[in-house]
A and B are shown apart, each in its own frame.
Chain A
């Protein structure tokens, strides 16, 4: 069955450092992969989308890579800030259904 794995343990880093979050998947060939941010008590908020034929995408301090051979995506936040503290979810999408399959999320804590 399809499986998505993200770092289950919380990631604690110092302000100003780069946070790197990992998303691995098996038994799936997604057309695209997305990253979302979720704060407590709120719904997920979209951050970035990368398609299967793309290797890297950037948006301001965010960078995502997508390796369909390794079946892995890396999500980087450079110059991290305490306001970046949240849970980050990766999601795999199918081009013909619109449905998303979510990982369990990684909680990031950026300390000042």
Chain B
């Protein structure tokens, strides 16, 4: 299993500003995933972050808006840039166990409100 610490747990931000969310894992993992969960909605994958390479973004998400860093095998950050109220959401980081078809572990999420 993996324990994921995500910071901050919540924040209220002004539109036009940026917020960086940190994700720390208690073990080394190859792939980390960033999801967005809008109110009342399911999880939508933003990007996959591999250590040592650029993140791979899903359709509808771009690096300029959601830059991701992955400096080592236990840490990643997601930045939400130039925020607007539509970015208000819960952002979650996730890792999977060894091998692909195993369970995913999630952080507790960052609840972002943009005003």
Contact = CB atoms under 8 A, between A and B. Distances in A.
Interface size class of B (residues with CB under 8 A): 20 to 34
Contact of A89 (B31, B43, B94, B108): B43
Of listed A34, A41, A44, A51, residue having the most chain B CB within 10 A: A44
B35 to A, nearest CB: 8
A46 B41 CA distance: 18
Given A42-B109, A43-B109, A98-B31, A34 B42 contact: no
A12 B48 CA distance: 36
Contact of A49 (B43, B45, B102, B109): B102
B106 A98 contact: no
Given A42-B108, A99-B33, A93 B100 contact: yes
B34 to A, nearest CB: 11
Contacts of B62: none
Interface of B: 4, 31, 33, 41-45, 48, 92, 94, 96, 100-109, 111
Contacts, number: 61
Interface stretch (A14-22, A62-70, A101-109): A101-109
A102 B43 contact: yes
Interface of A: 31-32, 34, 36, 41-46, 49, 51, 89, 91, 93-105
Contacts of A96: 100
Contacts of B41: 104
A64 B20 CA distance: 38
A31 B101 contact: yes
18 contacts: A34-B104, A42-B108, A43-B107, A43-B108, A43-B109, A44-B43, A45-B106, A46-B105, A51-B101, A89-B43, A91-B104, A93-B101, A95-B101, A96-B100, A98-B31, A99-B33, A100-B33, A102-B42
